[in-house]
Structures are given as structure tokens and as C-alpha cells.
Structure 1
Amino acid sequence: MTTAKAAALRALHVPGNPLVLPNVWDAASAGAVREAGFPAVATGSAAVARVLGYEDGEDTPVGEMMAAVARIARAVDVPVTADVERGYGLKPTELAERLAATGAVGCNLEDTDPRTGELIDAGAQAEFLAEVRSAAGQDLVINARIDTYARGRTSRQEAVERGRRYLEAGADCVYPIMLGDESEIQALVAEVGGPVNILFRPGTPSPGRLAELGVARISFGGGLHQAVHAYARELFGKVKAGRSPY
């Protein structure tokens, strides 16, 4: 079952017909995404962390994060991919084992050191990804995050080089988070040589346009949870004021 779900998730990464992933934060939101007809479910580390009472950036204890992912995976009948930041300090073999135990068949792995906030050397990150791939085999779809744009380093050459190295190391898709310029997205997709994930946020081209640019995966990060939480705060305010929230 795990192998079949991983293969199904991998096959959904189609340039020009992207996999759209409205990132979820708990079993209820995962169920709602599934009910809406999406073929896969993705967690967002920032959203899950907030729900659990922690900040993003590997502040969440690994056991709590994995338990949350497991609850989400049990709630749906489609492939689940988990945002596990940079692995919470786990060795590649243990990371692969613990992900498998949750029922998730995919993961995001970023190239920022959560302890320092600095970018990890591209070679070291490629080696880490290769070790995760070796440990997991083909039962795990790896989305390798590239944090250069998030760190203010806007060199496409650097992002492309990292992306190519990560793909060669066994990643299935690369994720240049915070890249939103249309021409840069188009150029990177053409140059990197593999599936590309783009984060949808204000100012980013529409999902339809991202498809035209050859993007293979679109995710929403913590944005949907932030919007839902803002709406909940409005409801709570109405209750406090003695008004009907409905």
C-alpha cells in the first residue's frame, strides 16, 4: 500500500498540470481537503506547529509533529506528504522510519539549518537527501526545498545549481520557496531539469498561469491556516460582543 501511494503521489507531479496542495494542519482540515476532491494531502509545518502550541522552525518536539502527521494520514484515503522542516535532527534512517510509521509517503526537507537560520552547504544538503533516499527507497516522495530566495539570495544560478544537485541526489521535486516572479519561475523551471514546486501567495502568478509556466506542484504553506485563524478570531470577537457569530 505504501509503495502504491508513493507512486501515485509521484505521478501527480506533472509539469503544466500541477499537483495543487492546500496545506492542512489537522485531521479535520485534511478531511475537508479530501472532501473537496484533491488527490493528495500536504501538511504545513508552520500551521501544524501553531496548532500544537509551538513556533515554526523545529520548535515542535519531533514526537508531537510525527503524531500530528499520523492523525492526518489516518483521516484520509489519499497520499499524504508531510512538511518536516529539516528532519528535527534525526538521522536519515530514523527519519525515513518515523515518516513511514506515520503513514505519510512524502516529505518536504529544507536546506536551512534551524539552529542558526543559515543556508546549509549545497553539497552537504545533497548528501543528506541522498541518505534519506537510500533509507526510504522509492516509498517516499522527497520535495527538496531551496531557501535561497527566502534568505534574500536571488541568484537564479545558485538556485538552479542547488536544484540540480538535489534532484541528482534523489529528490523528486524541488521547491524554491518565496520565488514569485513570473519570468524567474519560467526560467528556473526551464533550467533546473526536474519538477518544480511553487508556493502560492499574494503577488504570485495565478495557479492557472503557474501551470502555463510548467510548474509541477503548487502549495499554500501556512497561508490557509492564517486565513482560517483570522476568520475564527472575528467569530470570537462577535461572541464577546454578544452578537451572533453565524
Structure 2
Amino acid sequence: MQTLKEQAELFHQLHIKGNPLVLINVWDAGSTKAIESIGAVAIATGSWSVAAAHGEQDGEIMPFEWVLSNLARITSSTKLPVTIDIEGGHGRYASEVKENVLRIIEHGAVGINIEDQLPGGTGLYAIEEFVLRLRAAREAAERMDIPLFINARTDIFLQTAPAQHNSSHLEEALVRSYAYAEAGASGLFVPGLQDPQLIQELCERSPIPVNVMVTSNEPTPAQLAMLGVARVSYGPYPYQSAMEHLKELGRSILLETS
């Protein structure tokens, strides 16, 4: 049985540029067991899916105590490393982020996603302010003696339609990448970015591994690997797909009984 520290070290090692860690995001203990059973090497939650599964909206509306209790059930149901999406950190101040990350680690997670989007989705934290939040998360991990994988999510590319992404967005992402890495981030998460050329350049120039979320048929995970991506995730798609299947199943049953 691996210790939490050993799980954290393994999770870091799974991020390989050109041979990405593929994460099929889960939302509870049941979906965790399903994904583990098909050969996954790590477990990742998605905040949108977790909130939806609890009948809530995304955006830190779901009480943090619910987040923790759900995490506890997930980590107790698997032997795999678990990373959790904590949105912006569930706290306005860096001190709150630090306390929350301490509790996340206590509940068995070895990785977090933390985003630079302001609560409510109206713009991004200034780099200086988000750096304080990342440093607080790293301080919490160091206190627990766990090499927590801090996946710093920047929402630069979500603020603009994919067709309008250009080199200025890339340069802004790179500025944040270097600042976030210096503050203790382990990886850079860029949801919304789909352009292969921009992805490749970001992977080449970022000081930390890049995580891309699959949101369409292309680029595929194989293509993302060739572009230098180190982590591929699926966000809310698995939950949405499962719910669509459930509805279709329900419709067919109701039709048969009507």
C-alpha cells in the first residue's frame, strides 16, 4: 500500500511531455471505481461534474464541506492517486486557500486544480494576487510534507472564442506560466485552447508541463501527445455523456411500459 507521499511522487512522474497522462474526470466514488476498473492510472475530479451530481451549479456554490466529504469517499474507494478540482480555492484570501489545501491533503488528495478566474467568471486574478494563492497552496503542501501537484489553471483562452485565439493570448499565458511556476505550480492547465500550433508552442516554451482539456473531436489525445502535451483531461464531458445515456435509457424504458 503506497503512502500519500509515494502517491504524490508517482503522480508527478506520470506527467510526461509527449506521452501524456490521460484523465477521465469523475464525480463520485462510483464513477471512480468505474474508471479505475478500466485501467486508469490516476483519478481526477471535475468541479462542474461534482457540483451537478450534487444538484448544484459550478462556481464554488457547492459548500466546501460537501467537496471534502465527496473527496473522502473517492479517496477511500481507490488505491490510485487522486487530484481534485478546487476551482479558485474556495476562499477570497490566500490564507483561506492555505487552510483549504491542508484539509484537501488530509482527505487524501495528492493534486489540485486551482484556477485564476475570478469568482463568477468576470475576468482573471491579477498575476500578483494569484501568485499569492499558489504560494499559499504550496506552503500547505510543504507543511504536510506532500509534494502536491498544483495544476495552475489559466482561463485566458476561455475568455475568448477559440477562432479568435492568437499569439497575444499565447504570450499572456506564457507570462502567467513562468510566474505560476516560480510560485510553486507544478503544471499549467489551459482549458479552451484548441489550436494545434498554439498548443505546440506553449508546450515548447512553458517551464512546467501543459494540460489540455479535450472539448471537441480535434485535436485528439494522440495529436496532443505529438504536440508535447503532458496531461489530457476531459472536464465535464464524461458526466454529461453519462447523463445523456441515462436519459436515453430512461426514455426507452418508459416507451416500453407506456
TM-score (norm 2): 0.91
Aligned to 2:42: 40
Task: Please list, as runs of the form range in 1=range in 2, the aligned pairs for 1:62-101 lying within 5 A after superposition.
Answer: 62-89=64-91, 91-101=96-106
Pair 1:220 & 2:222 matched: no
- In structure 2, the partner of 1:201 is 215
**Distance in structure 1 (CA, Å) of the matches to 2:113 and 2:33:** 21
Is contact 1:143–1:175 with CA below 8 Å preserved after alignment?
A: yes
Deviation at 1:15, TM superposition (A): 0.3
Mapping 1:1-246, distance limit 5 Å: 1-89=3-91, 91-115=96-120, 117-137=122-142, 138-152=146-160, 154=165, 155-242=169-256
CA displacement at 1:203 relative to structure 2? 4.2
Percent identity for Structure 1 against Structure 2: 37
Describe the SS at the equivalent of 1:9. helix
Q: Which runs of 5+ in 2 are unaligned?
A: none
Q: Shift in Å at residue 31 of structure 1?
A: 0.7
Q: Does the C-alpha gap of structure 1 residues 218 and 88 become closer, same or farther in structure 2, counting only changes over 3 Å?
A: same
**CA 1:231–1:243 in structure 2 vs 1: closer, same or farther (change >3 Å)?**
farther
Stretch moving more, 70-79 or 82-91: 82-91
Cα offset, 1:46, TM superposition: 0.3
CA contact (8 A) 2:152 2:189 kept: yes
Amino acid at match of 2:157: Y
Name structure 1 gaps, 5 residues minimum.
none
TM-score after normalising by structure 1: 0.95
1:88 shift after superposition:
1.0
Q: Which amino acid aligns with 2:23?
A: L
Mean Cα deviation higher: 81-90 or 53-62: 81-90
Q: Which runs of 4+ in 1 moved over 4 A?
A: none
SS class of match (2:159): coil
Residue identity opposite 1:74 in structure 2 = S
Q: Is the contact made by 2:90 and 2:97 (CA closer than 8 Å) also made in structure 1? A: no
Instruction: Report Cα offsets for 1:175-223 as digits up to 9, x if no partner.
Output: 0111011111001111112200000121431101111111000000000
